[in-house]
Amino acid sequence: MNQTHYKVTDGIWADHNQKDTLPGQQIQHRGTAIYYHIAHPSNYNFILDESDKCKQNPFLVLMVPVAPNQVAARNAIRNTWGNESTVQGKAVITLFLVGLTGGSDSEKAQQQLEEESRQHRDLLQSNFVDSYFNLTIKTMVIMDWLATRCPQATFSMKIDSDMYLNLENLMTLLLAPDTPRQNYITGMMMWNRPVIRDKNSKWYVSEELYPEPNYPTYLQGMGYVFSNDLPEKIVEASKDVKAFNIEDAYVGACLKQLGVALSSPPNPSQFRAYLGKYIREDFFKVITTILGSPQQLIDIWKDVKRPTYKYRSTKKQK
């Protein structure tokens, strides 16, 4: 397999180009010391993989980056929108991506992940340290998996684990005659966003990593959908785009490098941050919105999916 900036390989050791990396750390995993650059290593391999999933020739692949310990979030998705395998006659699959666990109980946590994988067959795990600072790695590993394991899919979506997803509305968008099937990506648009230089902010990015004062136009990382020709192109573009730790803006920078224009959704209000007070009818209109907890997803899903009865008057018309 040819090496690229984020290419997944069969080996666990990777060469590093120092100008594209931040200081590293050493961690223990299954008794073996492995050196990782915290933000930007070059190569990864999968510890858990489900490459056979794409033998189903899915129309849409939902990729959910999630922390290893967020079992409740994964189970809530499995029992709600992640349980929908056919929507408007099109095959849909849902997969979760995690990195390596850390801490003194990492061995036990890894065993639990492997048992969960055997039970559900929907977990992908790559050998990067799972942390907020490594979300760019996580997203690029998703892109590489789609490019190498599932190129036959028509569309894919990167969606966070705290999201409500209305697959009927999403599928209606994707099946619309004017929705392109190449070089297409859409979601909640972010224009002319300033780079945060405050070192106390979790969104801090140094001028060394990203010298421009503003990010290119990008899509909010909580949920965006794209034609499945793009993952390979994004991975290829990442060779020429210096990595930084704001994952959604980094994908935007790769798309700018490719000359791919982001598409504003026909109805921008369907990709929402928060809906506020729960109103059942609002969830029939959106494609995505952020929720507060796995239990809220379960409760709202049950309420949205309950039958809606229309009462017909028996009064005779005069």
Ordered by start, the domain boundaries in the chain are 18-304
Who has greater pLDDT, 315 or 78? 78
pLDDT value at position 276? 86
pLDDT digits (tens, 9 = 90+) for 266-315: 999 999 988 888 999 999 999 999 999 999 999 999 999 998 765 454 55
Q: What is the CA radius of gyration of the chain?
A: 20
Rounded to an integer, the average pLDDT of 144-161 is 97
44 pLDDT exceeds 90? Answer: no
Q: How confident is the model at residue 12 (pLDDT cuts 50, 70, 90)?
A: very low
Residue 177 identity (one-letter amino acid) = P
Lowest-confidence region among 80-84, 169-173, 180-184, 265-269: 265-269
Task: For residue 175, give the nearest of 69, 271, 59, 97 by alpha carbon.
Answer: 59
Compute CA distances 104 → 85, 107, 113, 290, whole Å. 38, 8, 16, 32
In this prediction, residue 232 carries a pLDDT of 95
User: What is the spatial distance between Cα 151 and Cα 170, in angstroms, rounded to a whole number?
Assistant: 20
Distance CA 287, CA 284 (A): 8
Between residues 156 and 28, the one the model is more confident about: 156
Average pLDDT over every residue of 191-218: 96
List residues bridging with 28 in a β-sheet.
33
- Report d(CA 73, CA 62) in Å as an integer: 15
* Mean pLDDT to the nearest integer, 39-52: 76
pLDDT for the residue 313: 47
- Residue 136: phi and psi, rounded to 5, are -65, -45
Residue 219: pLDDT above 80?
Answer: yes
DSSP state of 186: E
Lowest-confidence region among 39-43, 169-173, 185-189, 292-296? 39-43
Q: Characterize the bridge pairing of strands 90-100 and 60-65.
A: parallel
* pLDDT the model gives residue 23: 34
Q: Please tell me the distance from the alpha carbon of residue 137 to that of residue 41, in angstroms, as a whole number.
A: 8
- Over residues 165-186, the mean pLDDT reads 98
Closest CA to 44 of 150, 115, 120, 143: 143
Structure tokens at 247: 């994952």
Return the structure tokens found at 251.
């994908």
Backbone angles phi, psi at 97, to 5 degrees: -115, 130
Closest CA to 245 of 170, 108, 140: 140
Across residues 205-224, what is the average pLDDT? 96
Confidence tier at 101 by pLDDT (50, 70, 90): confident
Q: Which residues contact 253 (CB under 8 A, 6 or more apart)?
A: 210, 215, 216, 218, 241
Count Cα neighbours of 16 within 13 Å in the Cβ-side half-sphere.
18
Mean pLDDT for 249-261 is 98
What is the rounded average pLDDT of the residues 219-235?
97
- pLDDT at position 310: 53
Please check the confidence at residue 33 and state whether its pLDDT lies above 50: no
Name the region of 177 (left: φ>0; alpha: ψ -120 to 50; beta: rest). Answer: alpha
Please state the rounded mean pLDDT for residues 252-272. Answer: 96
Residue 39: pLDDT over 80: no
In this structure, which topology does domain 18-304 adopt according to CATH?
Answer: Spore Coat Polysaccharide Biosynthesis Protein SpsA; Chain A (3.90.550)
Bigger pLDDT: 271 vs 105:
271
Please write down the long-range contacts of 174-180, taking CB distance under 8 Å and 24 or more positions apart: 174/59, 174/60, 174/225, 175/88, 175/90, 176/266, 180/227, 180/263
Q: What is the pLDDT of residue 315?
A: 52
Q: What is the pLDDT of residues 179-202, one digit of tens each?
A: 999 999 999 999 999 999 999 999
The mean pLDDT value of the chain amounts to 86
Token pair, residue 221, equals: 């990382």
Is the pLDDT at 17 greater than 50, yes or no? no
Residues 6 or more apart whose Cβ sits within 8 Å of residue 216:
249, 252, 253, 255, 256
Residue 200 has which token pair?
Answer: 């106390």
The reported pTM is: 0.86
